[in-house]
Amino acid sequence: TMHVVTQPIHYVRVNNPTPSAPYTTWATAATTIQNAVNACRVLGGKVLVSNGVYSVGGTLTPGGLLTNRVVVTNALVVESVNGPSVTTILGQGSTDSDAMRCVYLANGAVLSQFTLSGGCTLTTGGPQDKYGGGVYAPGGVLTNCAIDENVGGASYGALYNCSFYGNSNFAASFYCSLKDCTLTGNKKGGAQGGLLNHCTLTSNSREVGGGGGASYCTLTNCDLNFNSTDAEGGGAKYCTLYNCTFMGNSADGIGGGAN
């Protein structure tokens, strides 16, 4: 006889007046995402999050110095009910002053349908402390998320159907794998390192180092439009390109389109 064990869903409502562990109904939902994640111990479990801005609590990066609003280190799914337009995980601070990343994902964890905004990193410590103010995701996956206005967007993850806007300090996507993503108006370049497939990079800029749209990437079936740099490679610098289109990119150095 085969016995199938179903992992219960754990719920989150930011203003729930009656939270009660293990948060397995809306009436007893957690008020922070981290509490529900901590209650969901079985691989393949799910945390379902209602509308709101999640800006309370913090958990230290495993083996690191930086605090994160949410840390997920096992293979579970964290998903919002109604999408990124109404569900935000908010970081805080400026570099080295009360810095807090939005999300740390690892070991097959999946984050879906959130906006990650306001996250910040440190200038000291290891890579897990210095990169990805929005999300640092070694072995993690993001789908249908908006990574907006962080100090460093996303690092070391796989992202599908995500958008990046207004990120600063590092390239919006730093050594990530991207598919069906848009990168628009990021201030230190669109993507650095990693693989991009069927992505659109528009109006990104980078002063030092070149590669306003992308640098050190492999891009397939991508569009690079109106990106710019004060150095070389307005659209792309030191990239491998397959079936890509360029329009209106500019550079003060060589390679307005690509170098």
- pLDDT > 90 in the chain, percent: 91
Q: Report the range of poorest mean pLDDT among 2-16, 39-53, 132-146, 198-212.
A: 2-16
Give the pLDDT score at 3: 45
Q: Kindly report the number of other CB atoms within 10 A of residue 76's CB atom.
A: 23
Could you tell me the CA-to-CA distances from 9 to 23, 79, 233 in Å, in that order? 8, 11, 48
In DSSP terms, which residues pair with 12 in a beta bridge? 30, 49
At residue 211, does pLDDT exceed 60? yes
**Which positions ≥6 away from 216 have C-beta within 8 Å?**
192, 193, 237, 238, 239
**pLDDT bucket at 6, cuts 50 / 70 / 90:** low
Q: Do the Cβ atoms of 89 and 70 come closer than 8 Å?
A: yes
Q: Do the Cβ atoms of 101 and 119 come closer than 8 Å?
A: yes
Q: What is the pLDDT of residues 37-51, one digit of tens each?
A: 999 977 789 999 999
Q: What is the pLDDT of residues 128-156, one digit of tens each?
A: 999 999 999 999 999 999 999 999 999 99
Report the predicted TM-score, pTM, of the whole model to 2 decimal places.
Answer: 0.95
Give the pLDDT score at 42: 77
Cα(182)–Cα(241) distance, rounded to whole angstroms?
17
What value does the mean pLDDT take over residues 210-216? 96
String of b and e for 194-228 (b: at least 16 CB within 10 Å)? bbbbebbbbbbbbeebbbbbbbbbbbeebbbbbbb
In DSSP terms, which residues pair with 214 in a beta bridge? 191, 236
Which of 233, 235, 232 is closest to 248 using CA atoms? Answer: 235
